[in-house]
Amino acid sequence: MKLSLLPLSVASLLTLASCATEKQTPTLKDHFADDFLIGAAINMNHVKGLDPGSDSIVRRHFNSIVAENCMKCEEIHPAEGTYFWDDADAFVDYGVRNNMAIIGHTLIWHSQLAPWFPVDSTGAYVSADVLKERMRDHITTVMTRYKGKIKGWDVVNEAIEGDGSYRKSPFYEILGEEFIPLAFQYAHEADPDAELYINDYGMNMPAKREAYVRLVNDMKSKGLRVDAIGMQSHMGMDYPDFKEFEESIEAFASTGCNVMITEWDMSALPTISRSANVSDSVVYNTLFNPYPDGLPADIADRWNSRMDSVTDIFLRHKDVITRVTAWGTHDGMSWKNDFPMKGRVEYPLLFDRDCNLKPFMQNRLDNASDRQI
Ligand code: G3I
């Protein structure tokens, strides 16, 4: 059939032009190509096409993805001997289809742990041997299924408290400190080629930093594989102290591990103290959800400036930072909305609710492309 070239309408010409322009618009993964992987946590809305804005952002701007929830124990292993693979399979397939570095999150974590995992039929903690076997089965079954597709795993998440002590999780209560090296041993046996990470928040805190340096040095001295220390990097307008944060990057790198920024976001709202009486509606509406309809310009400027400073820190340490992952794509999908109370509207991510890149980052891309022309 002879295809005649249809006269292009003005609209088609404009679309072609905009697509062409879009192709020339720099992307995050191009901008940071020589620095570190850049990625985001994605959820099933992205994967199932229910959030086309996020899908477009992920495919254009990122070269790495991490599972926000679908690989957590309560989701993927809801009952003993019963695994739910559909969502995790869809997540991995999405990453493979889009040629992404895929990160598994997370194998051993006290939160979103399937309720059955640490207890027997009476609700009492199982024995050390039973828990070891359950950990080995979980880690081996999950990692084996995705062998060769997952670049690396958050093997253990949030195991140390801010004062450097071990979190009194069921894993610690039953196995003591041993649960962490055991998890890494099982993970390496399950997939010898996968990278293995230990991950936590508040990693700027000196006591926590020192505890992880001791722990990782000890595991490595015993011949265990630990490829990176993950700094979740959930930030606010008044935390973390940047000097402490950088000292942690340097301390973690001193173990010989890479450093990964694994869950980066920055709250633009007032930090709520743990003791805050968030059920008080007056307090809620004024103090803790002050910008339900958008950030005032001065707050947005301060947020952008602070995020720009953090980006400078990442680039200063790009010799040891191998991945920067935001914990989400655009503000509308962030876990920080409705946290810690329903209805709270947050603005913590790299893209706004209209899927526009935030000014601090757009300026970096524009200035870089200016330099290249
Ligand atoms: O799947 C259920 C659904 O069936 C139910 O209808 C719905 C309403 O109750 O809840 C759904 O589960 C929610 C789950 O996300 C999946 O959407 C949980 O309630 C909700 O608490 C859970 O929140 C996740 C949170 O971890 C739990 O601690 C966030 O999406 C996720 O972004 C967040 O991520 C964690 C990292 O894994 C570890 N570091 C901290 C980070 C932020 O908390």
Q: Mind listing the pLDDT tens digit for each residue in 86-115?
A: 999 999 999 999 999 999 999 999 999 999
For ligand 1, the distance from its centroid to the CA atom of residue 5, given in whole angstroms, is 51
pLDDT band of 372, cuts 50, 70, 90 = low
pLDDT band of 283, cuts 50, 70, 90 = low
For ligand 1, the distance from its centroid to the CA atom of residue 40, given in whole angstroms, is 16
For residue 351, the model assigns a pLDDT of 98
- Architecture of the CATH domain 29-269+280-372: Alpha-Beta Barrel (3.20)
Domain ranges of the chain: 29-269+280-372
Catalytic status, residue 75: no
What is the arithmetic mean of pLDDT over 363-368?
94
Residue 335 in contact with ligand 1 by CB distance below 6 A: yes
- Check 68, 195, 263, 346 and give the catalytic one: 263
For residue 370, the model assigns a pLDDT of 66
pLDDT over 70 at 17, yes or no: no
pLDDT band of 25, cuts 50, 70, 90 = confident
Residue 329 in contact with ligand 1 by CB distance below 6 A: no
**Residue to substitute in 54, 68, 107, 155 for testing ligand 1 pocket (most ligand atoms within 8 angstroms of CB):** 68
pLDDT band of 21, cuts 50, 70, 90 = very low
pLDDT band of 282, cuts 50, 70, 90 = low
Q: Mind listing the pLDDT tens digit for each residue in 38-49?
A: 999 999 999 999
User: Which percentage of the chain shows pLDDT scores above 90?
Assistant: 84
- Check 68, 158, 195, 346 and give the catalytic one: 158
- Counting from 1 in the atom list of ligand 1, the atom nearest the Cα of 328 is 32
Residue 232 in contact with ligand 1 by CB distance below 6 A: yes
For residue 86, the model assigns a pLDDT of 98
Catalytic status, residue 263: yes
Q: Mind listing the pLDDT tens digit for each residue in 138-152?
A: 999 999 999 999 999
For residue 23, the model assigns a pLDDT of 45
pLDDT band of 373, cuts 50, 70, 90 = low
Average confidence score pLDDT of the chain: 91
Give nearest CA residue, ligand 1 atom 1: 75
User: Which percentage of the chain shows pLDDT scores above 70?
Assistant: 89
pLDDT over 70 at 348, yes or no: yes
Q: Mind listing the pLDDT tens digit for each residue in 306-341?
A: 999 999 999 999 999 999 999 999 999 999 998 888
For ligand 1, the distance from its centroid to the CA atom of residue 246, given in whole angstroms, is 29
Give nearest CA residue, ligand 1 atom 38: 157
- Counting from 1 in the atom list of ligand 1, the atom nearest the Cα of 334 is 32
Per-residue HEC secondary structure of the chain comes to: CCCCCCCCCHHHHHHHHHHHHHHHCCCHHHHCCCCCEEEEEECHHHHCCCCHHHHHHHHHHCCEEEECCCCCHHHHCCECCECCCHHHHHHHHHHHHCCCEEEEEEEECCCCCCCCCCECCCCCECCHHHHHHHHHHHHHHHHHHCCCCCCEEEEEECCECCCCCECCCHHHHHHHHHHHHHHHHHHHHHCCCCEEEEEECCCCCHHHHHHHHHHHHHHHHCCCCCCEEEECCEEECCECCHHHHHHHHHHHHCCCCEEEEEEEEECCCCCCCCCCCCCCHHHHHHHHCCCCCCCCHHHHHHHHHHHHHHHHHHHHCCCCEEEEEECCCEHHHCCCCCCCCCCCCCCCCCECCCCCECHHHHHHHHHHHHHHC
